[in-house]
Structure 1
């Protein structure tokens, strides 16, 4: 017997995904990154269409300059948590700026987006409380439920009626229930029915936290996300987001219209026992936040790319994970080998995308995930579409029903 025996199935899957391919579809190695939309893989230049770099800010001149200046002034890291030596002025300023963007009194910065969910949820809900989560929630949300001592209830994905049934069974205990949803789900690119979910949650006296990881920067008048777009900010209790998508860095945040959020700093283990983000990351993110709030031009360009790609995918007969166009386009296939061939074909054509298969996706759902960026040029979008068209001509597209 061995500790590694339980990984045999994963080893077989890893081997299957790499068989016959020069480049593995698992943890694809990038030798060089040239820009927000271009990299080299095994010495060959490719268009990046699978990076979540929605606004292209990783190479923004102002953000890079801010990061370099912060490193020169304060060094490469803090070597301590926010509860010890890692509580710099930049961290506090970024928290105030994030909360202020929403017009709310409180915001907390975490070292990763994963930790934002892990740290906020595991502290907010404890023994005697209930977490009511969408079944298709991100792994960080499921892991937060495990770390929390709260009871966890999962409702069917994007099903407000199923959510209501669960809340109705809680009765008066619904006042100690925290409903957790994402506004934009990253696997299929589908949106949550937030208006209905918000109405039901408030009607039963429960609390609501919305993860805007993949929508922050892209939706709403100021880019604050789908809650802003739908006019729900006065009804949502907490919003979680990440720095690793539209903001082009690494880290995460939780903001709230309840000033009591500040108290979880003393209770959130992922916050207390993790070194704070380094000065360069914080400075670049602070600059990126300003770019988001003023970034109508970036959003306009991104949405023009989105409209063009979705129109072409429909023309070419691809099955997409959602009928509502968004920055994520998930090509759905019933067979793993078909999805793998599509991914490899795109890479061979110079387009990097993401291959996603069970257990990362629902059973029977295999995905080639395309994500667009405002930094993509029209020529790069044409290249992506051209590669998709050539693959559609070579073999029938028999996507999952």
Structure 2
């Protein structure tokens, strides 16, 4: 078989869906007007698929900090954190994140994906066991494969299933690594973290929580689901990203473990990757200050989340299991999903189209994400677009 022949089925599936120049596989956003508005081709759209939860991508303080760092420190470090890529600003960001999370150590990575690879893939080696929520992010699965650990999946958000599997491990359970997410990125639901923390206290193990979609979103201070549920002391490692609530790019891992910093000398994704640019680090530091100083952003975010969730549920759509800034709508086949996604663009709404195998049962879903920067009128516009498509779909069914 030739090198690229393995992709033949992928090419066929993609060609069957792409019937127009506009498609969801790397949509080109031609112009950005605000954190919530842009232009795709000739169509002005409300951006409702960006993970920009606090609306900080165009925050004036973050932009000013990034511009100053760009002028003073240049466009990049041109080196890894282990070589010349640790500037004073990188160290300062780690210190500020450690203070924010109340943890002894924080390690900053170039992306959130690399944070998962660098921490999970290094901690969990061939002699280790990982107990993993079945709906975990692809980067978590990739990290487990990289490390070579034995992976035991438990049913999504099923603490009882986790406990059963841990009990089968016997004494091995006390050294196992349990991995869950704060908010799951596809359905917007939260891990049953209180129950999982209780299992860990009784049976042992280490608990790692990927708070990528919950930092800035949950908790009195925005530290995520562990803070929201009062179980931060039970979490051994917090992972996260700067590309959601903090509006930039990069990732981090935080821990109270006294030997956690040793990962800097063992983690290949940390050692062999160029460090984040000074401008990105500067914008994240400014965004973190905004997250801490402006709790009203979280309040506004949740007002918008409840407005959109209840509005779409009220139209009869199958939405996620609980209100969240991630609001999915489950549709039918990939072809139906594609037509629906295009219909939303035509009505001035951009969302994410998610297709199998990333979705269960061969169904497609459109994934909305809400921002604190959305106005109530913009949320109404999104709901209105879904309402028009619901009417269109019913009329098509009657006429078929």
2:3 match: 3
Pairing of 1:210-359 with structure 2 (within 5 A): 210-322=209-321, 324-359=322-357
1:203 match: 202
Give the Cα separation in 1 of the matches to 2:140 and 2:75: 30
Give the Cα separation in 1 of the matches to 2:294 and 2:340: 34
1:365 match: 363
Structure 1: stretches of 5+ with no match in the other structure: none
8 Å contact kept, 1:45–1:350: yes
Alpha-carbon deviation of 1:202?
Answer: 2.3
Task: Show CA shifts across 1:307-355 (max 9, x none).
Answer: 1111211221010022x10001100023222222221111110100010
Give the Cα separation in 1 of the matches to 2:25 and 2:62: 30
2:173 match: 174
Moved over 6 A (4+): none
Give the Cα separation in 2 of the matches to 1:64 and 1:275: 22
Give the Cα separation in 1 of the matches to 2:27 and 2:16: 15
Give the Cα separation in 2 of the matches to 1:108 and 1:56: 25
Give the Cα separation in 1 of the matches to 2:76 and 2:48: 31
Change over 3 Å in CA distance of 1:196–1:298 after alignment to 2 = same
Which of residues 359, 379, 382 is equivalent to 2:380?
Answer: 382
Alpha-carbon deviation of 1:16?
Answer: 2.0
Give the Cα separation in 1 of the matches to 2:361 and 2:13: 14
Task: Show CA shifts across 1:125-160 (max 9, x none).
Answer: 123211111111101000001110321111111111
8 Å contact kept, 2:17–2:334: no
Give the Cα separation in 2 of the matches to 1:267 and 1:284: 28
Structure 2: stretches of 5+ with no match in the other structure: none
- What's the TM-score once normalised by structure 2's chain length? 0.96
1:95 match: 94
Pairing of 1:61-80 with structure 2 (within 5 A): 61-80=60-79
8 Å contact kept, 1:317–1:397: no
Worse-superposed segment, 279-288 or 33-42? 33-42
Alignment coverage as a number of residue pairs: 396
8 Å contact kept, 1:63–1:283: yes
Give the Cα separation in 1 of the matches to 2:28 and 2:345: 13
Alpha-carbon deviation of 1:397?
Answer: 10
Please say if 1:15 is aligned against 2:15: yes
Task: Show CA shifts across 1:149-173 (max 9, x none).
Answer: 3211111111111111211122111
Give the Cα separation in 2 of the matches to 1:61 and 1:17: 40
Give the Cα separation in 2 of the matches to 1:127 and 1:394: 54
- What's the TM-score once normalised by structure 1's chain length? 0.96
Aligned-partner SS, 2:63: helix
1:125 match: 124
